[in-house]
Amino acid sequence: MNGRDAPPGKFVLLLAALAALTCGTAVAADFTVVNNCSYTVYPGIYPASYANGGWQMAPGARVSFTLDSGWIGRMWGRTGCNGASPAVCSTGQCGGVGLQCAGTTGLSGTSLAEFNLNANGTDWYDVSYVDGFDNPVGISISNPSCASPNTCTTAPLSACAGDLKSGGDCLSPCTVFNSDQFCCRGAFGTQASCVVANWPATEQSFVTNIHNACPGEYAYAYDDANGLHTCPTGSNYTVTFCPNGGSGGTSLNGAHTLTPANSTALRLDDYLSGTANGNIVDIWTANGTGAQKWVLANNGVVPSGYYNIAVSYGPYCLTAAGSDPNSAVNLQACNGSAGQSWQVTGGNGSYQLHPATNTGLCLDVLYGGASDGTPVLVYTCTGNNNQSWSIN
């Protein structure tokens, strides 16, 4: 039956269906999300257009999905999530069920990739650290004539001012102080009046650090000239966590000292330089001995991208004795077990170390103690500074 002879109602419906199919194919955007970090990332998406809003990605993993024309939303990367419902995460915490954010958004402080697809024939997109910075994020676009802000390292975490640090986040001045000046509102609510050069030096440094490490990405509310990008509708997108690779582009392989943020005069320490299975691991005043030198290595470690952490003078590894909160951490002969594989998230000064047996746990200084001999353990990640470490 040809169109001329078809019943008018059915013909109109057929044309409408074909038009919808054609238009949908032309303007829907294919998205690929890549975890290029050395640690597991738990992406969130709002609205919950894929995987009910949240899922888990091991280092090197990628997923692909399609978002419809007119989609307006955001993606972010949680870290250190546990098996609770909703999952409790070190950064990027949302609500929902398990790892699925289910239509809820993350807490302020996390890095965001934001999209407005097909706004009258134009896609708008950006990477935003306006609320804060936890993971480096990049966006690459299939149209080579459009900007791809796809370079970023963890340097803003490493250089974060002390009053802006919060666990694994470097919070923005707006999030920390909620002032009109830093949030660009009220008397400062225009492009002309929101002038970063008039901010105190510490707050200016947040913007400068982001611009230096993550070109083409937002650092404050009126950073449009730097961070806001457009492209004719019809392109596809790749969102990459740690676009510069590894722990945001930093290899941690080699010998280091580990300093707890709650007591920076102390170091992670092999108690009395013991070399026996079960020897206590504690914190102790910095003394430059081999008992406070730890060798990180990720070559051949399972899961991929995790680290073994061995005391410098013998084949004994930092070991989580269990997968439950309050599990002891001690030395055991290096054996490749999951309790000896550590996921490192965050950036220097605020790294978190998670055992592969349960990445919702963090290496923790017992009760936030600051005296010689205070033991370490693994405990539910809280974001407190007794779970944040410098690796130097």
Provide the CATH number for the domain around residue 342. 2.80.10.50
- pLDDT-based confidence at residue 27 (cuts at 50, 70, 90): confident
Domain endpoint, select from 198, 216, 246: 246
The backbone region for 60, taken as left when phi is positive above 0, alpha when psi lies in -120 to 50, beta otherwise, is: left
209 in a structural domain = yes
267 in a structural domain = yes
Across the range 11-34, mean pLDDT stands at 55
Asked if residue 224 has pLDDT above 60, the reply is: yes
pLDDT at 202: 95
Tokens for 371?
């005296």
pLDDT at 9: 35
CATH classification of the domain holding 153: 2.60.110.10
Asked if residue 54 has pLDDT above 90, the reply is: yes
Range of the domain at 143: 25-246
Asked if residue 249 has pLDDT above 70, the reply is: no
pLDDT at 263: 96
Across the range 66-75, mean pLDDT stands at 98
- Are 325 and 234 part of one and the same domain? no
Across the range 245-258, mean pLDDT stands at 78
Question: Taking Cα atoms as reference points, which of 41, 250, 31 lies closest to residue 140?
Answer: 31
18 in a structural domain = no
- The SS3 of residue 153 is coil
13 in a structural domain = no
Asked if residue 213 has pLDDT above 60, the reply is: yes
pLDDT at 392: 92
pLDDT one-digit tens code per residue, 152-195: 998 898 889 989 998 889 999 999 999 999 999 999 999 999 99
Across the range 354-372, mean pLDDT stands at 92
pTM: 0.68
Greatest mean pLDDT range, 36-40, 142-146, 379-383: 142-146
357 in a structural domain = yes
How many folded domains does the chain comprise? 2
* Burial degree of 360 (CB within 10 A; 0-12, 13-18, 19+): buried
Can you tell me the distance from the alpha carbon of 228 to that of 235, in angstroms, rounded to the nearest whole number?
16
- pLDDT-based confidence at residue 22 (cuts at 50, 70, 90): very low
Can you tell me the distance from the alpha carbon of 111 to that of 74, in angstroms, rounded to the nearest whole number?
10
In sign, the C-alpha dihedral spanning 93, 154, 308, 269 is: negative
The better pLDDT of the pair 140, 2 is held by 140
In sign, the C-alpha dihedral spanning 210, 113, 247, 245 is: negative
Q: Looking at this protein, which amino acid is placed at residue 189?
A: G
- Are 229 and 274 part of one and the same domain? no
Across the range 210-229, mean pLDDT stands at 96
pLDDT one-digit tens code per residue, 116-150: 999 999 999 999 999 999 999 999 999 989 999 99
Domain endpoint, select from 180, 214, 246: 246
Query: Mean pLDDT for the chain?
Result: 89
Q: Which helix (H) or strand (E) holds 181?
A: helix 180-183
- Are 127 and 274 part of one and the same domain? no
- Are 229 and 269 part of one and the same domain? no
pLDDT one-digit tens code per residue, 292-331: 999 999 888 887 678 999 999 989 999 999 999 999 999 9
